[in-house]
Structure 1
Amino acid sequence: MGTPPADPATETFVAHRNLLFTVAYEMLGSAADAEDVLQETWLRWAKVDLTQVSDQRAYLVRITTRLALNRLRTVRRRKEAYVGSWLPEPLLTAPDVADDVELAENVSMALMLVLETLAPTERAVFVLHEVFDVSYDEIAAALDKTPSAVRQIAYRARRHVDARRPRQVVPASLTRAVLDSLRHAVEIGDLQGILHVLAPDVVLVADGGGIKQAALRPVIGADKVARMVVTGIGKVDSILTAEPTVVNGNPSLVLRLDGRLDGVLAVRVENALITGLYYVRNPEKLTRVETATPLTVR
């Protein structure tokens, strides 16, 4: 006997699941929270009379957006009590995400951190319009606002993000080349080699979540960052390996100490130098770096 066909509600939800997850993750920066939002979305979707829904994709995005926005307001309070710096949860992503330059930029650690500086509604509007190309009318319906109000919010959010986002889109090949130089220097503890690929005003943000040791505040300046990398990442009497990978659509490194996963290192590159280092050590955020998470804007 074959598998019985899924009901229409299930088929539609499964067809758009990757999109809904990406929407929730972009808004929340947490895969765990995004999965919770998807579960709530499904519970609400299962009760909908599909004969009354003209655009099922838009309807699902609307449910997900509202639930993610509610959760975003809650997790912002949680982040205020977070120990040390907070970084988005890194996701191992498939090659097709890296091939989509626009998507790779939008889910990069650097831009995700910029989105953290937006107010919840501004973030929702920016993500929906700029990342997923949702119309102002649809966003207005999702947020219970007028289209004109949404346009004003979008304008403010775009100005805020443009002032803080990387000024240039760097080819993945260049990022990989810079990372390869960093990887070699880190593995052998070469301080000068590390300095060679760092911009003078480079910033290192480390996230240990109070579980793993990490700098509680951003470390600024090439000398300080290089020494922190040598002494804080490389451990005495431990074998450090750095494996090239693709995290959040961008070349990154998975670091292991004596073969055990220690953290994920993502970078921001400008003018062939590293201007931002993002090191996630919190083990609760490292559950999605071994298996690829599918992301999409379609």
Structure 2
Amino acid sequence: MIFKDEAGSPLSSELVAVAKRQQGDSLRSLMQSKCDEINGQIDALRTLHHFAPRPTDHPVYQPSPFDGPRPSQPQRKTPGFLKTLFGGADSVEKENVRAEEAYRAALQEWEHAKEGHENAERRKSILMSQAAAGKVTFMEIFLEQALQDIVWPRETLVSFEIQDGGARLVFDVDLPEIEDMPTKVAAVPQRGYKLSVKELSQTKVQQLYANHVHSITFRLIAEAFALLPTLSELILSGFTQRADPGTGHEADQYLLSVRVRREEWAQINFDALESVDVVEALGRFELRRSMTKTGVFKVVEPI
């Protein structure tokens, strides 16, 4: 921790000692905040599945009321005695006309916005009901919109195809690269004011990447089964870009591919997701995965 004054110059050792003595708790809180920021990146990567919905958590349309305030009609102004006497009544009437015109314009804009909101809500209701009924086009639109709302810690690109009249979904997922994984972990020391930041070993980075890949997979499967009640089967294949040793060019290489049926998926305890090991959980299904204990993936053929 570096101590500086308002001008950015280093504080003297005497003033640093005073700051530590008077603001020790605040300084340690600041260090802990920075520590949590560094380590939070790691936690976000391996806990995506903690927010996975149950397969029975089907969305229900909740109307959103239009909250734009309706413009208030202006009160007409009447000229006072002096303005009436000295010919100022016309200016008051012009002011009334301008206020009325502004009100009508604002009212028209409000009514247009309200109508647009109600139409959007109507489309939303239809989309959800038709998607739940197994109408493939609506399922595709609804799922795409829902997946766009997920904030991925690292770039994750998802494409999909709905097959068999809405009974099967096939995901193709462009996964993050292992190079995108954080490589440092932090800790606040018991004494002193120097944050301990250490490099993660290559093995730890590989294991973090493996957990992240499986957490993404678990979350996507859960979202799909919850959003689309007519799905009975789902296939997800995840790939990344790696250099082909034969050509030297980058090529898509699949790291895992899994087939899951709804009745099997429902056997997971969604009330205790924090205790679920996603690597083990996905191994319960029809899974193509070649991975070492240290998290090194080998290429597989997708299902």
TM-score range with shorter-chain normalisation?
A: under 0.3
Q: What TM-score, normalized by structure 1, do the two folds share?
A: 0.21
Higher relative contact order (CA 8 A, sep 6+): 1
Larger radius of gyration: 2
Q: What TM-score, normalized by structure 2, do the two folds share?
A: 0.20
